[in-house]
Amino acid sequence: MTELYRVYGRPLLSFVLRLTGGDRHWAEDVVQETMIRAWRSAHQLDENAASLLPWLATVARRIVIDDQRRKNARPQEAGEGPLEKMRVPDGLEDLLRSVVVSEALLALSPAHREVLNETFFRDRSVNEAARHLGIPVGTVKSRVYYALRALRVALEERGVTP
């Protein structure tokens, strides 16, 4: 094995470097794997052959192809760079938003709060809200309109913009 590596190591490494696009570490790994396979198949090698380089080159080429197929079978790893820039929702923004909206709702008149509570938070139709509140449908519609305008102003006063 030592003689095999001494005779064919450098030419095989040069050949594999071309196959791996100049990646020396990968090429060295391929040469080592090729030599291991030659050692395991020593009983099949022709001792009378003029050169074992063609057999070694074929084995090395197949190893490189197998490695490339293995790499292409999985998605390429992206590293952690994009993850560091990704925003992770921690719930703090939602909490702050709910506090600001709650304060803005408290700034509304009780009638406006009541109609928004029925239509938006309890998800009732205008007709259902009118029945539940005991007021005409038209009154619910106008209160919702003016309540939303007042809420928008209250939110703008607190620095919230649409």
Instruction: Specify the pLDDT at position 83.
Output: 64
The single-letter DSSP state of residue 162 is -
Residue 140 CB contacts under 8 Å (≥ 6 apart), including other chains: 115, 118, 119, 126, 129, 130, 133
pTM listed for this prediction: 0.45
Helices of type H across 81-125: 81-85, 92-106, 110-116
Instruction: Specify the pLDDT at position 65.
Output: 94
Q: Name the stretches of the chain with pLDDT < 50.
A: none
Instruction: Specify the pLDDT at position 82.
Output: 66
- Containing 157, the helix (H) or strand (E) segment is helix 137-157
Q: How many CB atoms lie within 10 A of CB 140?
A: 24
Instruction: Specify the pLDDT at position 118.
Output: 92
Instruction: Specify the pLDDT at position 25.
Output: 94
Instruction: Specify the pLDDT at position 79.
Output: 66
Residue 11 CB contacts under 8 Å (≥ 6 apart), including other chains: 53
Rounded to whole angstroms, the Cα distance separating 53 from 25 reads 21
